[in-house]
Structure formats: structure tokens, C-alpha cells
Structure 1
């Protein structure tokens, strides 16, 4: 107790005398320093990152300077600085949040041979930085090597634990609350074998409407697994169906056709779910056959006048069969 009182009184005396009190946080491989700090002799110390060094060629971390690392997956090496949730990067550099690293900002400074101003970490990204061009064996930071150098393996599947966005394997996935997720508004935003959860607006594994199922709990939302073992949702209008789906004449939601007609056109069917991705099951005499939905004649093969006709007494239309 006397020792604690002595230490406390000594600290108070030092502060009162105007002596600066510096408390250094210990660091090692299991405890990383904050952005703008470097681990020096086991303690986190403030460092002034040299923005001119970010994006420079390198052969090791030492050639980049304190607080920077050398990304050897980039052609000729690439000095990288860390950036976190605050997107803090030195002047002349920009934070690529998916990688958790600062890269050289676009401008006259992007003059390295084989490098150019390009979206990172993949084509279509909103962030632009000085990155390898495809002619130099890179693709603006989208190949696996640069991601690994940024501290990511890119092997974590959806809904599994992650530390940062580039840990996630699916393209376009983000690390939210330490879990790999992919934001979506419709099923087409998700990769094959997954669908968009209407409540959370995140891609999840499982069959979509009209796809094969074993039981109702395999299907999205309130959809059920029908007798033909396909996920089925009953509808009255197109508004009753999710985005990219429409209500077929037999009141089931089917995927909306794009530029490719359903491959089942002309085949016999019981319901529109038998017509694959986007067909309508329509009565033709004594049988039901799969037809291609349409709005105008030009939506049908050949686009002949009258080729898009009304289906029964409904407001729906389908292409005439050949």
C-alpha cells in the first residue's frame, strides 16, 4: 500500500513540475497499434507517414519506412499504409476500404511504368487509385496476390467470420459486424445458388422462387415447397411478387424474362413453375403449354404483328407458339 502511495505521489509531483507523462501501449503480433502508429521496440509510437512513399516501388517493409508495408504481390512492390474505419490516409493517398490499406491517389504522381489511375480493388469500384494495369500482369489490385499483401486471404464464404472486406471470397461481399455479407435488393444481385433475403437485404444460400427444394423451410420467406418440389409463392398481381418476378396467369410468382426466352417454350406443363425460369403455363386447346411472356410484339421472336397476344381473360400477354 505504501508503495502504491509512493508511486501515485511521484506521478503527481512529475506532472505538477511540468514533466510530460508519456504512456506507451505495448504491442506484439497479437496486439496491433492504431492507425498512425507503429510498433517500435514493443511499444506503439506515433509516426508521420510519408505520403510520397505510398505507392512507391519496394523490395521489403524496411524500404518503405516506418508504419508502411511492402506489398510484394504488386509488380515491383508497392508501399502500403494501413487505414481503418476512419479512412485516415496521408495527403496524396486514398483509403481502399475493402483492403484496409492506403494506396497512392490518382494524379500526376501516378507515373510508375505499368501503373495507371484505375478503380480498385476491382473494376466498377467507386474508389480510384494508382494501381497496376492489365498489360503489366495486374488488374488494378483485383488479383489474389495484392489482396494477400493487404492482409487478406479472400477465402471466407458468406455468413462466416471476417476481419475486413477483402477476407470475403464472394465478389462484392463486405465485412459487416465481423461477418461476410453481400448487400442486395433482388435475387439477381446474388450469385448462383443463393438468393436475396427480403428482410435483411443480404444474399443467403438457398433456392429461389421456382427452383428445386426438399421442404418448405428450404424456400425464401413465406414460400412453400409444392408437390413438384419447387419453391412457390401465390400472387394476385405483380406487386405480390419480389423484384424481378411477375405474377403468372395461374397466380404463381415466376422470374421475369430478360433477353433470353425460356428454354421450355412449347413443352406441356401443369403450372408455370414447370416452365423453368420465366415461362407462363397457358392452356392451348386440351393441353397446357409453356409460353414466353411479352408486352409488345417486338418482345417475341421475329417481332411479327400480332405475335404477342392476350392470355385468356387476364391482362397478361404471351408470345404465340410457332
Structure 2
């Protein structure tokens, strides 16, 4: 039959349309495999894209905060020359705009940045204040404060931009602490201890403990020698490497031995807290005031008959010390240049 026959022409056109449709489907599939299609997020070798069926737009990597070390990046990010970069083991761990390469979430065409974890040997190696060197890496010092008066905290050991300790806290020995943990007068410290800059220090009369020296009539801690270590592994099992010194680590006071407590930094320090004689009136003949059992009075003579040495001044209806009557400081930050607060007096 002739190819010009209408039936043959119709069959030919039908087969041609089918072939074209199949080719279009194959082309569409290949395009989908190669990149974007409707509602698709896709990362190619140069960038990541998000498509809406009409067009594709490039998805940029998320903003990265600047950092001085891993301590500023949180638990799942690392400090690099490009800022804090999320760590990963697979692409699914990464935010949009990035893929997982070399353990870091990076843009597809982005070169892997240099790592800047904040390695150190001593605190001086760490940029900025409020840092110390722990196990060879810079880390926040939970006891460090800084400000116009040597302290700027809003809770014990926590730095703040306020320039001074908030209500209920006092700056003592460079650390903000609750008023209940800071002494003002010698009698708050117990026998053979003196209140110096809000801390109860052992007097030197009976000699100082190991690791302490006598200074100004009281025992003070001697800083441990530097250069002992670079990592925790170089110290004994119960010690940590802090600022190149091996120091006793702890989680509770019982880990530290007599006369020492577990500090906010997780290391043992001398117990310099007040030791109150009483905590409630039921422990006294009369009343408990500032941790001491007080005797009521109407005048100085009433006090002299009871205690002619220490509590011989009548103050606000109770026998008190002369230091309480004349007090002009609680901690050294309240005294002038070159002066320190001792027994409630700048001297």
C-alpha cells in the first residue's frame, strides 16, 4: 500500500509523537538527576540550590560566629579561621547551604579552613581575659572576673558586663560571691583566722600548711609551679593540667581533705569561708546576729561587764567589736589604692 495512504500517515504520526514523548520523559529524568526540579533542594559541586518549579536560587552557608577557640563554639562546632563551623559525619548533619567534608559542614566549593582550637600552655597564651589553660586548650575560668573594681559578675564566678557585682554578691579576691560566703570581721572566721579581703585566712602563729606561705600575718596559697604539664595525661590520676600546673581535681569537698574545699573551677582550694558560731537564735542564750551569739546592751558599760576585750562596744542594742563600730569596708575593692580591707577596716 502506498505510504501516502491516510491510514499509514496517521500511524506514522502516532509513532512519532510517542517517540518524542518518551524522549521528553528521558530528558526530564536526566535533568532531575543532574539538578533542580519542583520543590527540590540540591547541592552541586559549586553551590547548593533550592527550586520552586520555576527557578532555582542559591542557598548560602549559615552565618558563622567569630571565635578564639573551641570553647566559644558549643558542643557540636569547632573553631576555625572562618569562625565556628559545625562538625559532621554525613551531609544530613549539616545545615542547608553546606555539605559534610573533612568532618566539617562547608559550602560545596569552599576550601577547608585552618583549625584554631585555642591551644595553650599557660593562661597568657589565651587571647582576652577570663580564660585559663585546661588540658592544653583555652577555656573560660569560672572564678575569673574583671571590671573597674576588679570584679564584674552577676552570679558567683560568672562574668558580666556590669562593672560590679549584682545585689547580694560581693567582689572578694577577684571573685563575686554570695555575701554569706564572704567575711567582714575576724570573729566571723573562728579561732586563729583573720578576715582579709572578705576571705578567712589562717593566721601564721602556728605555721602555714604545705603549699602556703606567710604574708602580712596570714597564710596565703603559693601558686603551683608552671611547666609541669601540657595535658591532663601528664598529671596524676586525681589531678588536672591547668595553666601548665598539675592541681588536685574534685567534684565535692570530701575529695580535697581537711581545710580545703572543692572550688567552682573543679579544683581543690583552701577553705576560706566564714565559720559561724551560730545560725539561729535557738543556739544562743539571747540572739544570733551575724553568726555570733550576741548579748543585748543599753550602753558600753553593759558590754564591758561581759567582755572587756572583744565585744565591748554597744552598737544597735547588742555588744559588738570596735571594728564593727568603725567599719568602712567589706572587701578591698571598697578601699583606696594601696589599701586592703582587714577586719572591716581599710588599712
Task: Look at both structures and tell me which one has the larger radius of gyration over its CA atoms.
Answer: 2
Task: Give TM-score, length-normalised by structure 1.
Answer: 0.26
Task: Give TM-score, length-normalised by structure 2.
Answer: 0.24
Question: Which is strand-richer, 1 or 2?
Answer: 2
Question: Which is helix-richer, 1 or 2?
Answer: 2
